[in-house]
Copies of this chain bind each other. A is one copy, B any other.
């Protein structure tokens, strides 16, 4: 199948991934790591699954500190397609700047924004959903992809479906975006069959995105367009941009105004939020201890869970169930799958102690 005409992939490559410490660090965040054991980083995996849809029409927005690493991992990207943010100002600024640049240089473009640190098991079905989304976006909708939930997660926001969208089979109106619910509420959502996970995937014409932003914050949209018109003003204007997520700045108000549609889809998505989620993706279950990395480094006796021997040393685990052991050259984590969310507390403690070189 050929790529999608005039379709651009925007990849915001940010986020610390503190719940994946000590693998993920501020100096080497989650998206730069191969967490699936397939030999490609999450960023490279994102690139691999989008390339058939966009050919070379990529734009990666990342922190200045990670520009070289992104460039090294994606050598086929032209240098001017990697946009380096002077500082982290959340997703609206990052994706909005890409939109402003595309609007100026490629007025017919439709853009799709896909985080650099997610995994998708079935790229073909992902591609089908994106094609459907692009079709709807050409009609000036803000389109999101709604992931069929596989369990009542309290870790994700949800998309509440409305009526089917006429003329676009496979797309439906969005009533509203709802914040991460409790597990009980999530269970109720699933029972209705009308809720999908919000994976933060947005497909939209750049002009439409900026117009929606301008409705709530005209100065923000204007600043983004000024930077796109004269990149030398980036340093001057960037620090003044609001720190806000695209969901809050645009998607939620647009949904309330009936301007958002979604393409429900199922393609084995996960954002690898923590080591428990990583263990699930890697198939850790039952009586096995799963190793991400060189299996020969691990000696397991009567143990289950996940071991990441990324420090090059032998790791022996004796008599622990659902354990998580992550070994790196300068830091080691030992926890359980059930406590995986609390790993971010370690990072917070290290920061509080001024040991930022470890975070």
Q: A345 on the interface (CB 8 Å rule)? A: yes
CB-nearest residue of chain B to A317? B334
Whether, in the assembled complex, A346 has its beta carbon less than 8 Å from a beta carbon of chain B, the answer is yes
What count of chain A residues pass the 8 Å CB interface test? Answer: 36
Would you call B314 and A349 a contact (CB within 8 A)?
no
In the complex, the answer to whether B332 meets A345 with C-beta atoms within 8 Å is no
Chain B residues, CB < 8 A from A74: none
> Is there an interface contact between B301 and A349, defined as CB atoms closer than 8 Å?
yes
> Do A332 and B327 touch (CB < 8 A)?
yes
Q: How far is the CB of A299 from chain B (nearest CB, A)?
A: 5
- Report Cα–Cα, A176/B338, bound state, in Å: 52
Residue from A21, A311, A325 with most neighbouring chain B CB atoms (10 Å): A311
**Known A329-B313, A339-B319; contact A299-B334, beta-carbon cutoff 8 A:** no
A284 proximal to B (CB < 8 A): no
Instruction: Report if A330 contacts B (CB, 8 A).
Output: yes
Most buried by B among A320, A330, A358: A320
Q: Report if A342 contacts B (CB, 8 A).
A: yes
Using A299-B346, A315-B334 as known contacts, list a sample of 8 further A-B pairs with CB atoms less than 8 Å apart, ordered by residue number in A. Answer: A21-B316, A311-B313, A313-B328, A313-B332, A318-B336, A319-B335, A325-B332, A332-B332
Interface residue ranges of A329-359 to B (CB < 8 Å): 329-336, 338-339, 342-343, 345-346, 349-350, 355, 358
Asked whether A318 and B334 contact (CB < 8 A) given A299-B346, A350-B299, the answer is yes
